[in-house]
Structure 1
């Protein structure tokens, strides 16, 4: 296609620049509003950036040498104050799209090198193992030597991780490595490598895990080595999550979410923690309230149960009732919340449509929603508002630096 000059009018919700052209909108990555650029249309409304002809005053030098090739970041070229404003605007836009009118707090920022969990791709070639992120809109794995997103413990382990998985990779397949920095060291869960490693391969992988001082190595759900129990601390409660469990992306972001939830809950005596996971909010809530913690993943509830039994009395925690229940198929009914003073719900990206419908029918005076997807949060918020709740406050919290993703906390009160 013919190269064209365009002017970027705005940023789309995924962080790409939007140019209005006679043939429709073009989405151009790595551009900013107000910039003039030379681009090459690539079809389906997208274009490749060839050159920035007139740069925005918001443009800054990207801090990572892999930016623009690696698909991990979208907005490293944007000045931080403008970036924060854009992220806040994404939350406002999602709420407005559902007819919701609520002031949105300023973004609580993330800091570089704070991500404690990340997923990497790995493949084996004649030259060795390539480990990194997939390129933007590509199946090509970009080898990385640095990553300003992750904590130093993960960044410094790239070479060790490549050596670790080498014997477990075939030259035809690709593996995924979920790496989590825990209190006891790195916890690595591999999927997509050689299936069902035999005794010799298991021994070699375990040996390499020991050599690079991993806390735990899991291969397709099978624990091959556990030199130390990988512990994560939630408000003073040390929990050993099962392999590849959900955790908030950063310690700082998690602390902010917990603070916002506790501030809203106040002196509520009975609180329901829905989609509780391994206890991100449960431990903090139980310091002042009796808690009903509900989670669909049995292994995560079991991990939280073990921690509470061993440490709860010494920490002076209030009673915690643990329930394993699929809240997508069997949401907690309004009749089960008659004596509940507050509900906290923190669903996956898909949101909690069924649970929101049940909550909307309840008489619980306070509901706090935590979400990593403004669109599904706004959908569920609309349900609650239609059921008689008022959305009184929304606070966006950045845990996904330089990406379009964002966490938020919303507070609903029964009118």
Structure 2
């Protein structure tokens, strides 16, 4: 029998759950707000909201019918003002934990929807469900709607359920990536175990054509392609390798680019570290020579292929290099007027230490993890840089994740 307990929520934690004081330890209750009194019960190892006894005036009606069950969003119930303040406060706290009184600006909230998503597909008897996991469980929410996703992605889900059904293994899940590109929807499947005979490939191609997909790839092998999927960065079109990383929201990417360009000002040469396929490299190349580095060979190949067809930009060169194991040295960095880096969530500590030893005047750091960004910022500040601004950007709407752009300038001796 479930034991019901009542708690007073005092604040919202870093993962978006409400926090109450328990018996000597904090208690986290999802989908709650400060000032609320709630009744809860335990499901598995996770505290679940059973009833709101006293609601916060900041509580609003969620925009999605799946909210409260689906693990994709955590904060749809929070008012707009409180939501913006909470995300900004998370960034301030992350920097404060490193002893940095950071000049954090208000949250920028781009008007856009996510252009990529990775779903889980699972066979339920003869039917296929596609969606996100329930919060804190391995159960699946079969999506009927998703207001934070591009409408083309949501609209294709019913067709994808039918399309994937013959490819599904008996018991295992399949990961389904869907990206909205300039050529249409690009679909990647991972976990398909069926032998891809010529007959199966033909059937996949026919079904994909009926759904008007741009491309279908299984384990990064292209099975069908009507048009090469591409994205435009600045004035340059880049053809996407299957399943390659891109920023989740085009409008958020544009905001990041604008902040980078303003920070760079008049420079002649820029090094773009963790460049990916060139989302920032090509806009920067409208004003300066760019050298790009990334550990993903497919990303660098795509970037270099786009360079060959590009016109009206400064020279761009790109090389494969593992910047975690082999960061650019201070001597190498001294050849550039500015550094831009956008690492994975783990941050770029080793590379930041090399930048801190360099003479580069301007550094722009882009990060989806305020904690590792603050760690790397501490390294740069200790190396003589001044942190001029940190701008949080709401690329991951209603989730606890926060994108940031931080601008550093070398202090003149």
Q: Which residue of 2 aligns with 1:236?
A: 235
Does the CA-based 8 Å contact 2:386-2:408 persist in structure 1? yes
Q: Which residue of 2 aligns with 1:204?
A: 203
Counterparts of 2:42 and 2:25, CA distance in 1: 12
Q: Which residue of 1 aligns with 2:367?
A: 371
Q: Which residue of 2 aligns with 1:292?
A: 291
Q: Which residue of 2 aligns with 1:102?
A: 102
Q: Which residue of 2 aligns with 1:132?
A: 131
Q: Which residue of 2 aligns with 1:330?
A: 326
Does the CA-based 8 Å contact 1:132-1:144 persist in structure 2? yes
Q: Please report the TM-score for the alignment, with normalisation by the length of structure 2.
A: 0.97
Is the counterpart of residue 32 in structure 1 residue 28 in structure 2? no
Does the CA-based 8 Å contact 2:330-2:354 persist in structure 1? yes
Counterparts of 1:319 and 1:390, CA distance in 2: 30
Deviation digits for residues 69-96 of structure 1 (CA, Å, limit 9, x no counterpart): 1111101111111101100111000000
Structure 1: unaligned runs, 5 residues or longer: none
Aligned residues: 410
Counterparts of 1:245 and 1:386, CA distance in 2: 35
Does the CA-based 8 Å contact 2:304-2:317 persist in structure 1? no
Q: Which residue of 1 aligns with 2:161?
A: 162
Deviation digits for residues 294-325 of structure 1 (CA, Å, limit 9, x no counterpart): 111111111111111112x3xx1011121111
Partner of 2:61, secondary structure, is coil
Q: Which residue of 1 aligns with 2:15?
A: 14
- Select between 277-286 and 16-25 the one with higher mean Cα deviation: 16-25
What RMSD in Å do the two structures reach over aligned CA positions?
1.3
Counterparts of 1:333 and 1:123, CA distance in 2: 47
Counterparts of 2:33 and 2:42, CA distance in 1: 17
Q: Which residue of 2 aligns with 1:85?
A: 85
Is the counterpart of residue 278 in structure 1 residue 277 in structure 2? yes
Alpha-carbon offset, residue 380 of structure 1: 0.9
Partner of 2:378, secondary structure, is helix
Q: Please report the TM-score for the alignment, with normalisation by the length of structure 1.
A: 0.96
Counterparts of 2:394 and 2:76, CA distance in 1: 14
Counterparts of 2:177 and 2:103, CA distance in 1: 36
Alpha-carbon offset, residue 127 of structure 1: 3.2
Q: Which residue of 2 aligns with 1:269?
A: 268
Alpha-carbon offset, residue 41 of structure 1: 4.1
Structure 2: unaligned runs, 5 residues or longer: none
Alpha-carbon offset, residue 39 of structure 1: 1.1
Partner of 2:71, secondary structure, is coil
Partner of 1:348, secondary structure, is coil
Alpha-carbon offset, residue 126 of structure 1: 2.4
Partner of 1:106, secondary structure, is coil
Counterparts of 1:22 and 1:166, CA distance in 2: 48
Q: Which residue of 1 aligns with 2:67?
A: 67
Deviation digits for residues 190-249 of structure 1 (CA, Å, limit 9, x no counterpart): 101225422222222122111111101000111101110101010121100101111111
Partner of 1:357, secondary structure, is helix
Q: Which residue of 2 aligns with 1:218?
A: 217
Counterparts of 2:340 and 2:25, CA distance in 1: 43
Does the CA-based 8 Å contact 2:264-2:338 persist in structure 1? yes
Is the counterpart of residue 180 in structure 1 residue 169 in structure 2? no
Q: Which residue of 1 aligns with 2:4?
A: 3
Partner of 2:193, secondary structure, is coil
Counterparts of 1:328 and 1:23, CA distance in 2: 40
Q: Which residue of 1 aligns with 2:190?
A: 191
